[in-house]
Structure 1
């Protein structure tokens, strides 16, 4: 048995779990890189840290088939959308990559919220 065999998870949930974990990694990288920038990146850092925490929690809720995962999916999607918007405002490579990754995560989380 592998993680792809979780009895309660369909392909859509597996994709969302993968996207959440990828978003967490992108956000951790972006927040760390933003801390090194000369300009004020406080909002970008805050949103990235929120998304990293929310997406890892959401992935864990989906893995254990929590009754609350759909509620958390909606919050996660909202945070991802806000983070993507903030990151897209900055020209740094790490921000642009992060914006793209969290936008994809927002889409799959929004789909999970409707389950």
Structure 2
């Protein structure tokens, strides 16, 4: 079963919340990949690795809180958006394909999390 299929079975989520949950998991996955690739790049990638790991952890936590309809989900949405935005800015500084892909994905996650924080 795909993530989209799983998310669609969570009754309390709106379509916008489902999209945010999926974006959070996608951001976590791409950030784990990017961080791993950055390790092989050598010097100058430490901040990118740190921020990617932060996004992976916060985005996963936020998705889990949304899935269980936690009262703290809105606060985590704000945190997640901020970390994603900072990560996207850092990834944009690097020319590697994995960083550019990561920047695009986390920017999309930031947008959906900002919507959740404002809801």
State TM-score, norm by structure 1: 0.96
Q: CA deviation at 1:28?
A: 0.2
- Off by >4 Å, runs of 4+ in structure 1: none
Structure 1 residues 85 and 113: alpha-carbon distance in aligned structure 2, compared to 1, 3 A threshold: same
- In the alignment, structure 1 residue 4 sits paired with structure 2 residue 5: no
- In the alignment, structure 1 residue 67 sits paired with structure 2 residue 71: yes
Q: CA deviation at 1:63?
A: 0.2
SS at match of 1:6: coil
Instruction: Give the length in aligned residue pairs.
Output: 115
Structure 1 stretches lacking a partner, 5+ long: none
Structure 2 stretches lacking a partner, 5+ long: none
Structure 1 residues 38 and 95: alpha-carbon distance in aligned structure 2, compared to 1, 3 A threshold: same
> What is the rounded CA distance, in whole Å, between the counterparts of 1:10 and 1:79 in structure 2?
24
Query: What is the match of residue 41 of structure 2?
Result: 37
- In the alignment, structure 1 residue 107 sits paired with structure 2 residue 111: yes
Q: CA deviation at 1:7?
A: 2.1
Q: CA deviation at 1:62?
A: 0.2
Which of these residues, 64, 67, 76, is aligned with residue 80 of structure 2? Answer: 76
Give the root-mean-square deviation of aligned CA atoms: 1.2
Q: CA deviation at 1:23?
A: 0.2
Which of these residues, 13, 18, 42, is aligned with residue 14 of structure 1? Answer: 18
